[in-house]
Structure 1
């Protein structure tokens, strides 16, 4: 399974509300993520609004496409879009920047 890391920018004045929304992610959204191949998905928020995401998937593009076909994702992305800058009309799930992995410590090696 491949590892992916990405970043987005949350509006600094909306960080508290953004974090609150993610403490109560809808159960149907969580289930859709699982069903479409998202694994070990985590979000980390720096105090200036930089959001770093980490996810494992067999194929991130396929997982994103599968999520895009769900009704719950359409609702969630519409709700979350207002928290971000620099999306240029794209949803957060389409507007993130993938980061290159430059090191990974393998377990037990």
Structure 2
């Protein structure tokens, strides 16, 4: 699974409305994202308008192409475009993708990774 992190810049005077729109994303948009491979997708908004997005997907290009084929995405991107600074492309195409430089689970020994899947709380037998 590919982990993707990206940034965009939301206009400061539009931040509140941007957050409100994302508190109630259209159900058909949510379903389309899921169906085209956008998983564990989150957006984070800093108080200066920096938007950081994170998702997991088998293939980002395929996920973007899948969304591009949906009518709901075209409508959503058209509505969202006005919220961003210096953006000449639709938001889902104009974001700055960040390169991953560290992932904890990739560096843990296999036995430690397996141990993390279990509840670390000591039981009566352990004490």
TM-score normalized by the length of structure 1: 0.96
Partner of 1:91: 90
Query: 1:18 maps to which residue?
Result: 18
Structure 2: runs of 5 or more not aligned: 114-127
Higher relative contact order (CA 8 A, sep 6+): 1
Partner of 2:72: 72
Task: For residue 39 of structure 1, report the CA deviation from its aligned partner.
Answer: 0.3
The residue number in structure 2 matching 1:58 is 58
Partner of 2:5: 5
CA distance in 1, matches of 2:75, 2:3: 26
Shift of 1:19: 0.1
Per-residue CA shift, 1:42-77, capped at 9, x if unaligned? 000000000000000010011001101100000000
Larger Rg: 2
Is 2:43 aligned against 1:43? yes
| Structure in which a larger fraction of residues adopt strand | 1
Aligned residues: 108
List alignment gaps of at least 5 residues for structure 1.
Answer: none
Give the distance between the partners of 1:63 and 1:31, measured in 2 at CA.
Answer: 13
Q: In structure 2, what is the equivalent of residue 104 of structure 1?
A: 103
Please give the secondary structure, in 2, of the residue aligned with 1:28: helix
